[in-house]
Chains A and B, each alone.
Chain A
Amino acid sequence: MRASYAQEGRRVEERGAVERLKKGDVGGLEVLVRMHQTRALRAAYLIVRDRALAEDVVQEAFVRAYERIGRFDETRPFGPWFTKVVVNDAIKVASRRERTVPVERGEGGDLLASLPDHGASPEGLAEEAEERRRVWAALERLPPVQRAAIVQRYYLGLSEAEMAGGVASPPTGTIKWRLHAARKRLSKLLSPEARAQDVATRKRPTSFGGASNAPEGGSDRE
């Protein structure tokens, strides 16, 4: 499939920004920041589960891009490379601030088969909000690398090959394994049995939509 005019225009703009930055024009960096910050920040947020930390991760990644732009091949798209840097950094940060939470392992069913399709009715919307809360809580219980695999595959829409390609990325086999393990664990965590247990044993309120740093039930470990 050919890229749309909008995509091509964006690509040209991005390439121009990289070239400007390579010539020492920091305005090029501003263009790149404006183009990629939101998507990168959201991906980082899903992995580190803390808005401020996610901002730090993305900001640091842009600063590194600035430092290393001299060796960046401007014929290649900046976005995928940058997104990988952000994901990798987010994994590091998440791993450092989290201690592994032992999760019961077991066979799960089909991926997220427990996610029913809600309609647009008020009840449906409420259920969708509850579903969001459950997925958010379930993601918390995945190890950061598996959480990142889910984010890359389902939020960023990357294929396994795209997730594996590039510098410092694990081989495809590892990606497949991570996705497999992540889906299985997520599926188990979202199963009706886990849901019942979750309601009964939840330690802290998961006030999805609240105003704190981790409004959706994330925890801040200092």
Chain B
Amino acid sequence: MSEQGERLERVLRGCAEQGVPDGVDLWPGIRERVSAEAIPGVQTTGDQVPPRRRGRTTRLVPNTLLGWALAVASVLIIGAGAYAVSGPVAELVRYGLSGPGGPGVGEYAGGEPPQEALSALRTEVDQTKTADGVRLTLDWAYADERFVAVNLDMQGPNGARKSEGSGSNADAVVFEPSLWDDTSGDEAELPPHVEITDASGQDFDTVGGGTGLGPQLTAAEAVFDVPEGIEPGRGHRFRLEVPLQEAPRVGAKVSGKPEPGPFAFVFEVPVLPAPTYEVGQEVEAGGVAMTLERVVDSPVLPQAVVCYEPPDDDHMWLPPLLKEDMARDWDRGYAREGSLNANRRLTDGCWSLTMGDAVEGRTSVTVPKLEGLPREPTDPEQTSVKPKTIRGPWTFEFEAPG
């Protein structure tokens, strides 16, 4: 490490030691937590450690890429720890969930990811509704021709843990916005869930987002697909309805307490252009022909639509995500700032993937590999069908108009 690096190390150490002096002891709080989790009278062994209830996003119907990944991740990944550090599972995790950084993997990417533009392009709404002691705030909204995104913060009465350091109110009833993937199946079968509508009456599907039970507040982000498009260039009025549902927490019982709300917000946001460019470029690699059908030039959620014939019927063949930094959000349902995505499988079997880079000028899209996950059962240890990987890359280059 360079001398300057060593100086930075020393400064950081000083900051850390000043903020966290020696003598810290988290064990009493942790012991309390794990005691609350243990089932009385049952000898807990390593393999019988009670599983943690999954976050809301992990209960999504697996039709989107997010949903598939979550479904698989819930089996393969959550709790896998270092088990998954090596071997094909790790490969799957790293590429299937984290995903490469889009074009130019392994090199410095030029410019900021398009979603960093979100802070400039979103509209601060800052509407707060209160019911039964719960304050729900619609922080901001974003809309373009193809996507609408919203961010919600919720506080009280027990909607978040107190930031008391080593303690947490484990018995509290915690609610969260009811986010469900409604892109497939009978929507009527779903519980009341977050929905957005407008005067056109088109059916906006929830294609991305998640909830996060933070220490101080509960937050949620949701991305809605706009199936018929919205005319850009002017303000557009939406109505967002947000039912809550009880969020099971570690050490907390499901109370069955009635949910506060639902909460309704009416707001108007400008609609940005998000033109679609037909590309129709085919590339063959690893014996698989893949076509980049089109690109949706959304300023915040640029999409590459790729199609390919599944190499076999024993596996679900998934393209890895093109945008980084999403997997780590799913595990606990955090909707991390700037992590919006709208990855999904389309009805024609193609995949719409959120790109890590903006569509601008000479644009490149690379799908590095296809991951084949055994169809059933989902636990690879219980099936003779093993996960497979077909390495590409499939790289498409095209000139974006304008």
Question: Interface of A with B (CB < 8 Å)?
Answer: 21-24, 26, 29-30, 33-34, 37-38, 41-43, 45-46, 50-56, 58-59, 62-73, 76, 78, 81, 88-89, 91-93, 95-100, 102, 110-113, 115, 117, 128, 131-132, 135-136, 143, 145, 150-151, 153-155, 157, 165-174, 176-177, 180, 208-209, 215-216, 222
Complex contacts, A99 vs chain B, CB 8 Å: 119, 337
Also in contact, A135 and B34, with CB within 8 A (given A65-B81, A66-B49, A70-B47): no
Also in contact, A76 and B85, with CB within 8 A (given A33-B26, A62-B30, A95-B336): yes
- Indicate if the CB atoms of B19 and A93 lie closer than 8 Å: no
**B325 interface residue (CB < 8 Å to A):** yes
Beyond A55-B165, A168-B327: 20 further Cβ-contacts under 8 Å? A50-B163, A51-B165, A52-B164, A53-B163, A53-B215, A55-B166, A63-B33, A67-B79, A68-B49, A102-B119, A115-B8, A131-B11, A135-B15, A153-B5, A154-B12, A155-B13, A157-B9, A167-B84, A215-B19, A222-B217
Complex contacts, A21 vs chain B, CB 8 Å: 46
Complex contacts, B216 vs chain A, CB 8 Å: 53, 97, 222
Q: Which residue of A lies closest to B85 (CB)?
A: A166
Query: How many B residues have CB within 8 A of the partner chain?
Result: 91
Also in contact, A24 and B46, with CB within 8 A (given A166-B85, A167-B77): yes
- Indicate if the CB atoms of B334 and A92 lie closer than 8 Å: yes
- Determine which of B4, B17, B19, B336 lies in contact with A111 in the assembled complex, contact meaning CB atoms within 8 Å: B4
- Indicate if the CB atoms of A171 and B94 lie closer than 8 Å: yes
**B382 interface residue (CB < 8 Å to A):** no
CA distance A58 to B29 in the complex (A): 11
List 30 interface pairs A-B (beta carbons < 8 Å), by A numbering: A22-B47, A24-B43, A24-B45, A41-B20, A42-B19, A42-B20, A53-B216, A59-B168, A63-B34, A66-B30, A66-B34, A67-B37, A67-B51, A68-B81, A71-B81, A71-B83, A91-B328, A95-B336, A100-B119, A100-B338, A112-B7, A150-B8, A155-B13, A157-B1, A165-B85, A167-B85, A171-B100, A173-B109, A176-B106, A208-B18
Complex contacts, A117 vs chain B, CB 8 Å: 3, 7
Minimum C-beta distance from B91 to chain A (A): 11
Minimum C-beta distance from B99 to chain A (A): 8
- Indicate if the CB atoms of A92 and B45 lie closer than 8 Å: no
- Indicate if the CB atoms of B49 and A67 lie closer than 8 Å: yes
Complex contacts, B19 vs chain A, CB 8 Å: 42, 45-46, 51, 54, 215-216
Minimum C-beta distance from A15 to chain B (A): 12
Also in contact, A167 and B80, with CB within 8 A (given A29-B34, A59-B33, A113-B4): yes
Question: In residues 360-382 of chain B, which contact A (Cβ within 8 Å)?
Answer: none
Q: Which residue of A lies closest to B368 (CB)?
A: A171
Q: Which residue of A lies closest to B214 (CB)?
A: A96
CA distance A180 to B335 in the complex (A): 25
**B212 interface residue (CB < 8 Å to A):** yes
CA distance A54 to B16 in the complex (A): 11
**B2 interface residue (CB < 8 Å to A):** yes
- Indicate if the CB atoms of A92 and B11 lie closer than 8 Å: no
